[in-house]
Structures are given as structure tokens and as C-alpha cells.
Chain A
Amino acid sequence: AQSVAQPEDQVNVAEGNPLTVKCTYSVSGNPYLFWYVQYPNRGLQFLLKYITGDNLVKGSYGFEAEFNKSQTSFHLKKPSALVSDSALYFCAVRDPLVGGYQKVTFGTGTKLQVIP
């Protein structure tokens, strides 16, 4: 079974500082990994994905994530945080070996608070 863990319920960072939101995963094969962001009372917005290739993937709004197979991690990063980045962030995984349908499993979310 596929699963995702986000060990931090909340991350606080000062505006202008680098930020990291952690994610680890468990799948049978090579994973498809995703990050989504959710603003209050809204649906989730896609930020970036890792399918194959370069371990560092770049996404929307200056975010990037690093895939580390040995540590089964896919941490979200941004060099300089903005107050507007404050939101709820979800890591998600899809096991492509699970045939027949595209089940994506989400983590429990990490609330990012950027302090002015």
C-alpha cells in the first residue's frame, strides 16, 4: 500500500528566509510524487511533480522539491519565503504499479506560516 508522511503539522519561517516542508513516502515501485497547496476554503492547487529524471524539480511560485530515493523523501523548498506563501501544503504519492486507476494518496498536510 502506498502512503505519505508529513512529520510537521506546522512550519514557521521568517519572510525572506528559505523554507523546507518535509515529506516521506512509501510505495512498492518507483513513485510519482506531487505537492499541492490549499488556501482557506479552497480546493488544492498543483505545485509540482516528480515522475522521473532530474531529482530536483521546479514548480509554480518559485517552489522546488528534491527527490531522494535512498531516504524516500520529497521535501518542498523555496529559497526566499513570502507572506503570501502561508497556506496548507500537501504531499501526495501515486504508485504506478497499482494498475487500473490513478489513486493518489495525500499526506495530512503541513501548515506553513511565513512571519513578516
Chain B
Amino acid sequence: ETGVTQSPTHLIKTRGQQVTLRCSSQSGHNTVSWYQQALGQGPQFIFQYYREEENGRGNFPPRFSGLQFPNYSSELNVNALELDDSALYLCASSPRGQGHHGYTFGSGTRLTVV
């Protein structure tokens, strides 16, 4: 079975720009969660997608948005980038209703905003 794949692995953007990060979930997993991990910190929950809808959100502003596609892959979009958005963005997939199995994480996208 394939794991979680994220692209790109690294990205440098200028303040004010927009960015799209992509994630392919593990085979058989229909729920995708996105986390932001700032340097030296634990992952912070951004939001979760199931059946192409956002069904949970953390304490992040509306300029953080996402999509989930019928094949369960997902995108994270961030508008009006700020310097503090520099972080490792992690995608995690899980089977719906079986969150107790734990997440399968991708290797992340390292975003640097300059």
C-alpha cells in the first residue's frame, strides 16, 4: 500500500503571495487532516476534510483554506502569506471512523516566506 505523498517538498514564497500545497492520502484512507509545525513546536491542527467537505477546523484564519477531491487527495491553500506562515506543513490521512488507528503522515512541505 502507498503512504501519504506531499508536494512540493520545499517552497519559498514572498510575503503577500498565495501558495497551494498538495497531498495524496494513503490508499483506503478517506479523511485528510492538515497540520502546521513551526520550528521547534508540535504540529498544530489546521483543518480536516472528509467527503470533500471541511468537517473540523483549528484556530487558523480564513486565508487558510482547503479542498478534498473525489479520490481523497487534498490541497491546502494559503492566501496573503505572512512571515509567520513559514513552517513545515504536514498532511495526515486516516480511515473515517477509525481515527483510533492513528494517522499516517506525509513527509511534509517546508514553506519559507521571505
By a beta-carbon cutoff of 8 Å, the part of chain A in contact with chain B is: 32, 34, 36, 41-46, 49, 51, 90, 94, 96, 100-109
Contacts and interface: CB of A to CB of B under 8 A. Distances in A.
Contact of A109 (B41, B58, B103): B41
Nearest to B101: A49
Interface stretch (B11-19, B60-68, B75-83, B105-113): B105-113
Contact of A34 (B41, B42, B102): B102
A103 B48 contact: yes
A105 B31 CA distance: 16
Interface of B: 4, 6, 31, 33, 35, 41-45, 48, 50, 55-56, 58, 90, 92, 94, 99-108, 110
List of 10 A-B pairs having minimum Cβ-Cβ separation, nearest first: A101-B56, A102-B99, A43-B105, A106-B42, A46-B102, A44-B105, A43-B107, A108-B42, A101-B55, A51-B100
B114 to A, nearest CB: 19
Contact of A102 (B42, B58, B94): B94
Contact of A104 (B41, B45, B108): B45
A105 B104 CA distance: 15
Contacts of A94: 99-100
A101 B105 contact: no
Contact of B107 (A42, A49, A103): A42
A100 B90 CA distance: 21
Contact of B50 (A45, A51, A96, A101): A101
A102 B48 contact: yes
